[in-house]
Amino acid sequence: MSAAVHLSGPGRPGPDLPDLLARVARGDQDAFSRLYDTVSGPVLGLVRQVLRDPAQSEEVAQEVLLEVWRTAARYRADRGEVMPWVLTIAHRRAVDRVRSAQAAADRDRRSAAASHTPVFDEVAEQVEGRLEREQVRRCLKSLTELQRESLTLAYYRGYTYPQVAEVLGTPLGTVKTRMRDALIRLRDCLGVGA
C-alpha cells in the first residue's frame, strides 16, 4: 500500500532539465533560476552528507551551482541525465573540500611538530647547576692551598696573573705553574676531556 511520491508536487510534471540547462548555456537567467530551484535542495543535501558542516555545505553548494552556470555548455545529454551530472559536480566539489581541509590540518600538524621546542625544566636546570657547583667545590678542596687561592683570585675575583702574584707575594712564574697544575687537576677531577 505505497503511494507514489512526486518531488515536484502531486500531478505536476517537473521542469525539463535538459531544456533548462541548454537555455542556461545560452545565458538565460530565468532558466537558471528555475534550474536552481529544482537542483539546489538535492545538491545541498548531498554536500551536507559529505561535509557534515552546515556553513561549509552552503558555501560549497553555492560554488557548485555557480559552476553549473559557468559549465552548462559542457553538458552532454548522450552521457547521462542532468540531475546526476549536477550531483557528480557537487560530490566532487565536496570531496575536494574535505581533502583540502585534511591537507591543511596535516600541514599544521607537521609544522607544529617541526617547530616544537622542548619545555624548559627550570627545576632540573637548578638541580644540575647545584650538582655541578658541588662537584667544583669538592674538586677545589683537593688542590693545595696556593693553587686554590690562585684560582679563586683569578677566576672568581677577576685578577690577572701579575695581580695574583702580588696579592700572594709569590713570583709570577710560580703562580703561573701552580695555576696550570691546578687547572689540570680540576679537569681530571671533573672528568672533562682535554
| pLDDT of the residue at 2 | 45
| pLDDT of the residue at 56 | 92
pLDDT above 50 (res 111): yes
Whole-prediction pTM: 0.53
Distances (CA, A) of 60 to 25, 34, 45, 51, 75: 21, 20, 11, 9, 20
In this prediction, residue 1 has a pLDDT band, given cuts at 50, 70 and 90, of very low
Q: Which residue has the higher pLDDT, 159 or 8?
A: 159
pLDDT above 60 (res 22): yes
pLDDT, tens digit (0-9, with 9 covering 90-100), for 29-44? 999 999 999 999 999 9
Give the separation between CA 62 and CA 60, rounded to whole angstroms: 5
pLDDT, tens digit (0-9, with 9 covering 90-100), for 115-125? 766 566 677 78
Contact of 32 with 86, CB cutoff 8 Å = no
